[in-house]
Homo-oligomer: A and B are copies of this chain.
Amino acid sequence: MQKSIKRRATINRMQITGLALFYKNGYYNTSVDDILKELSLSKGAFYYHFDSKEDFFVQIIEQLLVRKTYSMLIEPIEGHSNTLELITECFENALETAVHNELDYGFALSNFINEFNGKNADIMKHLNEILRIWEVTLVSAIQRGKFNGHIDRHVDAEGVAVYLMSSYIGIRTLMAENTPSARKYRFMSQLRQYFKSIEVKESSY
């Protein structure tokens, strides 16, 4: 195989397996050896391509996690139809992947934020950056909805965004252990209830 290609292939394999194990067992509970064992690779290969375990993880964030978050939570709500319907559908899909908690790393971002919060400022900087983009996207979506007449123009877009993010991160935690399917259903049902309360009221006219 060509060298430059082989390099990319190996790094890719490492990152994908690394993310899978980090997501499953947590960063601190996954050793470099665990990952290498899974890949049938050696220490030499790992430290040839990466400076440290932390560097490895940061690159996973930049290469994989950012894209996954984009495709799962950012892009789906950037459409031009009814904002609240877009968000509802987006959450519905994202949570569905979390129900079958296997290969599709549901919402890895949430797990890592919890794990590194107040423990590793450097990594948190990267994770917060993703959060920030998510928040901005939500806020502008809400404002678009207000402009388009779907959402009551009195609602606080930033408030709604924070509330949505909170509930999403929380339900992911609750779904991880107990009856994920039932909890997802109840959650989505109440989300729609909440959305009704910020839609334009006919009585306003």
Residue numbers of A with Cβ under 8 A of B are: 24-26, 28-29, 110-111, 113-115, 117-119, 124, 128, 131, 155-156, 158-160, 162-163, 165-171, 173-174, 176-178, 183, 186-187, 189-191, 193-194, 196-198
Contact = CB atoms under 8 A, between A and B. Distances in A.
17 contacts: A26-B28, A113-B173, A113-B177, A114-B173, A131-B174, A156-B189, A158-B186, A159-B186, A162-B174, A162-B186, A163-B186, A166-B168, A166-B173, A170-B170, A193-B194, A193-B198, A196-B197
Q: Is the interface of A mostly helix, strand, loop or mixed?
A: helix
Contacts of A193: 155, 159, 194, 197-198
B166 A170 contact: yes
B177 A173 contact: no
A177 B114 contact: no
Contacts of A166: 166-168, 170-171, 173-174, 187
A164 to B, nearest CB: 9
A186 B118 contact: no
Contacts of A176: 117-118
The 4 residue pairs across chains A and B that have the minimum distance between CB atoms: A170-B170, A166-B170, A197-B197, A114-B114
Contacts of A178: 128, 131
Given A118-B177, A170-B170, 6 more contacts: A117-B177, A158-B186, A159-B186, A163-B190, A190-B194, A196-B197
A101 to B, nearest CB: 8
Contacts of A28: 26, 28-29
